[in-house]
Amino acid sequence: MTNQDRSPEAEIPGKPTSASRTTLSHIMTGSDTNLLGTVHGGVIMKLVDDAAGAVAGRHSGGPAVTASMDEMAFLEPVRVGDLVHVKAQVNWTGRSSMEVGVRVLAERWNESTPATQVGSAYLVFAAVDEDGKPRRVPPVVPETEKDKRRYQEAQIRRTHRLARRRAIMELREKRIAEGFGD
């Protein structure tokens, strides 16, 4: 990257959190179940990735690919007949990457009871150009106190991801130097 790329006039204007926030809803059917008769975790993970990908694409203004999924938590089982709502938003942005936070809620399709949170996840997306190379993304502009908290928490998760990656690479290099190749 040249100094010209870093100049203030080359900055991309920020986008508010609400500009790309979305909800994906889906009724769970028998084809979504696992051997226990509840909805397969992989079905939920795909919905999570789909919603997060839509948010990342909206925020970045183009293609974005999943780089990692962190902390996928399944809090309650999802059943056939549940209406699942996957709510996603950009929590943090870097130069070409974005953390998307996702909450998964479920409610019975035929009841008027409040939805229950059944899962959550954090995904990192990289914005890419037509050649698959990283491209810059607009900074996210947190709007509410909740958005600001999510932004700060996302920075902590990023620091942990980078430290974990660095520690693993150092361990691998040490093992190779000691003659214990992979």
CB atoms within 10 A of CB 145: 8
pLDDT in tens, 127-136: 999 999 999 9
CB atoms within 10 A of CB 15: 19
Residues 101 and 90: their CA atoms lie apart, in Å, by 6
Residues 10 and 65: their CA atoms lie apart, in Å, by 24
pLDDT in tens, 17-71: 999 999 999 999 999 999 999 999 999 999 999 999 999 999 999 999 999 998 8
Of all residues in the chain, what percent are helix, strand and coil, respectively (each to 5)? Answer: 35, 35, 30
Kindly list the structural domains of the chain, giving each domain's residue range(s) and its CATH number in brackets, ordered by start.
15-178 (3.10.129.10)
pTM: 0.88
